[in-house]
Amino acid sequence: MSSSDNSFCNVSEPGPITENTVYSSVITKLRSLEEKSDNKEYHKHILNDGAKYMKELIVIIEKNKDNTMDRKTAVSIEDGFKAFLKALVKIEMKELFENDSVTAYEIFYLYIHLFNLTGMKNYFKRVQVQIFVNLLYEESISIILQVIAFTVAYCKFTLADLEKPLNNQPLLLLMLNFLKDELEPDSSITYSTVSQLILSFIWNYADKTVLIPNLIKVGYPEAILKWLSIIDR
């Protein structure tokens, strides 16, 4: 896994945590996950705790985005994301999930439900926010998409996943509309890393036959056929 290519800073090693901010505690928690990642016994806990800490961080960013976000703070937060990514890289997810579809299922929903947070929805809706806030939302969404794209392959879904609240149709529609903004022929928006990750996730999601009705109901087949026709021209 890797962080977004559109990062506003290139940090090879974590820098100092911004002191006395509302973000300091959760950044420390995210960094602690990297320290635990050398021990395989902690890998499931890292995934669970990572979702919990990311939720905490996203909520804090949304609550304070108008008055506490500057470059120094944003760099410290991204350091937390990078530490979490380093922990994820050390997790052999195939080994972890191929014989444990129950855990894969739990992790999948734990992470995709993070998209229900206001900040995540606003990113997909392209609501204008301060530049550092937008880039941090992009970082977090990229991590979430990578996790759900991988875990979905090891989940065992049933007809229950076609019913609310498990069908995720509102979130799938948000992703589709985000893609349309970039893939429509008259779009002036640059094709983004987030869009690439959404398509990777949808590819794996659609490979689960039982879930295809969720994609059909929000309009993916029509959109994909339109995009393919544009490519063939």
Average pLDDT of adjacent 10-residue blocks, the chain of 233 residues: 39 47 93 92 95 96 83 92 95 92 97 97 94 94 96 96 96 96 76 92 96 96 82 49
Whether residue 38 sits in one domain with residue 9: yes
Q: Are 211 and 168 in contact (CB under 8 A)?
A: no
Whether residue 65 sits in one domain with residue 39: yes
Domain that holds residue 13: 1-156
Whether residue 12 sits in one domain with residue 120: yes
Q: What pLDDT is stored for residue 160 in this prediction?
A: 97
Whether residue 146 sits in one domain with residue 46: yes
Q: Are 174 and 115 in contact (CB under 8 A)?
A: yes
Whether residue 110 sits in one domain with residue 206: no
Whether residue 171 sits in one domain with residue 139: no
Q: Which long-range contacts (CB under 8 A, 24 or more apart) does 183-186 make?
A: 183/223, 183/227, 183/230, 185/230
Q: What pLDDT is stored for residue 193 in this prediction?
A: 93
Q: Which of 129, 156, 183 is the last residue of a domain?
A: 156
Q: What pLDDT is stored for residue 10 in this prediction?
A: 38
Q: What pLDDT is stored for residue 168 in this prediction?
A: 96
Q: What is the value of pTM for the model shown?
A: 0.88
Q: What pLDDT is stored for residue 3 in this prediction?
A: 38
Whether residue 18 sits in one domain with residue 34: yes
What's the structural domain count of the chain?
2
Whether residue 141 sits in one domain with residue 107: yes
Whether residue 152 sits in one domain with residue 139: yes
Q: Which of 156, 190, 225 is the last residue of a domain?
A: 156
Q: What pLDDT is stored for residue 209 in this prediction?
A: 96
Q: What pLDDT is stored for residue 101 in this prediction?
A: 95
Q: What pLDDT is stored for residue 194 in this prediction?
A: 95
Task: Tell me how far apart the alpha carbons of residues 34 and 24 are, in angstroms, rounded to a whole number.
Answer: 16
Whether residue 165 sits in one domain with residue 107: no
Q: What pLDDT is stored for residue 29 in this prediction?
A: 95
Whether residue 187 sits in one domain with residue 147: no
Task: Tell me how far apart the alpha carbons of residues 144 and 115 are, in angstroms, rounded to a whole number.
Answer: 8
Q: Which of 132, 156, 180 is the last residue of a domain?
A: 156
Q: What pLDDT is stored for residue 163 in this prediction?
A: 96
Whether residue 86 sits in one domain with residue 18: yes
Task: Tell me how far apart the alpha carbons of residues 205 and 162 are, in angstroms, rounded to a whole number.
Answer: 13
Q: What pLDDT is stored for residue 7 in this prediction?
A: 38
